Amino acid sequence: MILLDGKKARLSLCQKLREKIAALSLVPKLAIVQVGDLKESAIYIHQKELFGKEIGVAVSVTRFPSDVGEELIVSEIIRMNADEGVSGIIVQLPLPSHLDKNRIINSISPLKDVDGLTNANLKLLWENKNGGFLPATTKGILSLLEFYGIPVSGKKVVVVGRSSLVGKPTALALLNRDATVTICHSKTARLELLTRQADVLISAVGKPKFLTKDFISAGQVVIDVGISVVGTEKTEKGEKRILSGDVDFENVQKLVSAITPVPGGVGPMTVFSLFENVVTASEKAG
């Protein structure tokens, strides 16, 4: 069994990204918009700040209270669109329910949409055209498969989860790479019959240990996107979250040919891919 180690892959790919950053005339900058004070969002933003520091990309965070009006966010994004010092913009999701997520996301210039979630970038993905930004998690999954030399062309890929953030763009990107893709969701009947047919099984559900060995066939490649907090433990540095993926790793790993751990699989690659997009945006802006 090969452990698809996202931290190892990222470390190896970082050198090339650093060289690209060094060749730029300006330090690239990622602007993050945060609304509210969700603990999970704060953790993900902190991870991005740390990685930005590690590779030499500036990261700014603009914070709004959870009861902020949409206009204020949109006008701040429009200001960032015009700011030559900002290479890429992301809105940390989820947003409070009173806000129109689509309107806010689509106020980001497609040229700075490094999360690849604007209609303009999703249309390029839909049409299988180059030149846009792929959503970071999707890009991270593709890079991880490529790093470990796992081909997808002609393979049966089953994606469990159909969110706009992960499931759908990942399924489309794999279809664009000539995989034969099945998308499953909460209403899929006899899910295990479909998941067992996959050469590459990708799970983006968000339910800990949901995919037990009954859903798996011997020799599959399993990509676990899910991240669920299942507890906390005290460490010297304070409280640490205990995370679980969608896959019952312990019992599944014996069967499969390759599998991502959680944490340390798709997560580090998602952050890396986001910063790859920031660097590309900066290169394009000249």
Start-end of H helices in 58-129: 70-82, 101-105, 119-126
Q: Which is nearer to ligand NAP, 75 or 232 (CB)?
A: 232
The residues, any chain, with a CB within 8 Å of residue 90's CB and separated by 6 or more, are 30, 31, 32, 33, 108, 114, 115, 274
* Interface residue list for ligand NAP (CB under 6 A): 137, 160-163, 165-167, 184-188, 191, 204-207, 225-228, 266-267, 270
Residue 79 Cβ vs ligand NAP, minimum distance, rounded to whole Å? 27
Residue 166 Cβ vs ligand NAP, minimum distance, rounded to whole Å? 4
| Residue type present at position 245 | G
By residue count, the chain amounts to 286
DSSP state, residue 69 = -
Q: Is 37 exposed, middle or buried (0-12, 13-18, 19+ CB in 10 A)?
A: exposed
Annotated active-site residue in 29, 112, 113, 115: 115
224 catalytic residue (yes or no): no
92 catalytic residue (yes or no): yes
Question: Are residues 75 and 93 in contact, defined by beta-carbon separation less than 8 angstroms?
Answer: no
Annotated active-site residue in 5, 29, 34, 92: 92
Annotated active-site residue in 5, 29, 34, 48: 48
Q: Which is nearer to ligand NAP, 116 or 267 (CB)?
A: 267
Residue 207 Cβ vs ligand NAP, minimum distance, rounded to whole Å? 6
115 catalytic residue (yes or no): yes
Residue 262 Cβ vs ligand NAP, minimum distance, rounded to whole Å? 8
Question: Are residues 7 and 264 in contact, defined by beta-carbon separation less than 8 angstroms?
Answer: yes
- Bridge partners (DSSP) listed for residue 91: 33
The residues, any chain, with a CB within 8 Å of residue 79's CB and separated by 6 or more, are none
Pairwise CA distance, residues 181 & 16, whole Å? 31
Residue 75 Cβ vs ligand NAP, minimum distance, rounded to whole Å? 27
Q: Which residue has the tokens 């930004």?
A: 133
3-state secondary structure 166-188: CHHHHHHHHHHCCCEEEEECCCC
Structural Rg of the chain based on CA atoms: 19
Residue 53 Cβ vs ligand NAP, minimum distance, rounded to whole Å? 19
What positions carry a catalytic annotation?
Answer: 48, 92, 115
